[in-house]
Chains A and B, each alone.
Chain A
Amino acid sequence: MAANNSQPTGIDKEQAFGMAETEMEYRVELFNRLAQTCFNKCVDKRYKEAELNMGENSCIDRCVSKYWQF
């Protein structure tokens, strides 16, 4: 049962890049959906000022902690 050198037990560079790219796409998609969902839930559509007020801030904190999967 000698280890075959042409097929290493670890993953090679190509596969690693592919997996990293898929992971990156997944993360970007997750972030986009998170931003859109929490914005639609938390921010009132009639903009009265540019800054996020305190209620919106705490709403966004809660929304992100529910949505985000580390």
Chain B
Amino acid sequence: MASANPGTETTNESSSSNEPRIEPLRMPSMEEIRAQDIWNNCAVRSVASGVMGGGLGLFMGLFLGALENPIMQDEMTAKQQFIYTAKQMGRRSWGSAKAFAVMGLIFSAAECVVEKARAKHDMTNTVVAGCATGGAMSAKGGPKAACAGCAGFAAFSVLIEKFLDRHS
């Protein structure tokens, strides 16, 4: 709070060594304000989430692709099996990277827009964003699939949010 007499240092010098000093208020600098403004932008946030989702999908695809066994295992030599597995890993990782990137982008964009419009930090934002993401991803299967995807992904994101909140 601003005051006409700035400075809240204690005048008692002998007690200042025992008690913790009250630091005066530090206003944020222009760089901090600009950084906060950039991070509050919905487009920047959703692109960053998309990139993180893509990275996550890449690793997941690599891991899942490595587990897959070639079909004609008896006929191939070890080198051929290795090449086949590597190709599978690359294909899987690229596909899942795209899917996860789109998922992260849509979820982050929806949550950001809803939270800015409502001006509240709630679980409702997560539910709406999850529904939008699930519905968008399952939209190809028709309206029923979109509804099921919406409900499922909303429930999933609420669970994740509750899990994250408990530990923070």
Indicate if B2 sits at the interface (CB-CB under 8 A).
yes
Does chain B have a CB within 8 A of A48?
yes
List the A residue with the shortest CB-CB distance to B39: A54
Q: Per DSSP, are chain B's interface residues mostly helix, strand or loop, or mixed? A: loop
Contacts of B168 in A (CB 8 A): 48-49
Q: Cα distance A17–B121 when bound, in Å?
A: 45
Known A-B contacts A54-B121, A59-B120; the reply to A48 vs B165 at CB < 8 A is yes
Instruction: Say yes or no for B78: interface residue by CB 8 A criterion.
Output: no
Task: Count A interface residues, CB 8 Å.
Answer: 19
Q: Tell me which residues across on chain B come within 8 A of A49, comparing CB atoms.
A: 168
Counting CB contacts under 8 A, is B3 at the interface?
A: yes
For residue A42, CB closer than 8 A to chain B, the reply is yes
Is A12 positioned at the interface, with any CB of B under 8 Å from its CB?
no
**CB-defined contacts of A56 to chain B, threshold 8 Å:** 119, 121
As a 0/1 sequence over residues 1 to 45 of chain B, the CB contacts with chain A under 8 angstroms (1 = contact) are 111100000000000000000000000000000000000100000
Residues of chain A within 8 A (CB-CB) of B40 are 54, 57
B residues apposed to A, CB below 8 Å = 1-4, 40, 112, 115-116, 118-122, 125, 165, 168
A–B complex contacts, Cβ < 8 Å, 8 sampled: A28-B4, A32-B1, A35-B1, A53-B115, A54-B116, A55-B125, A58-B115, A58-B116
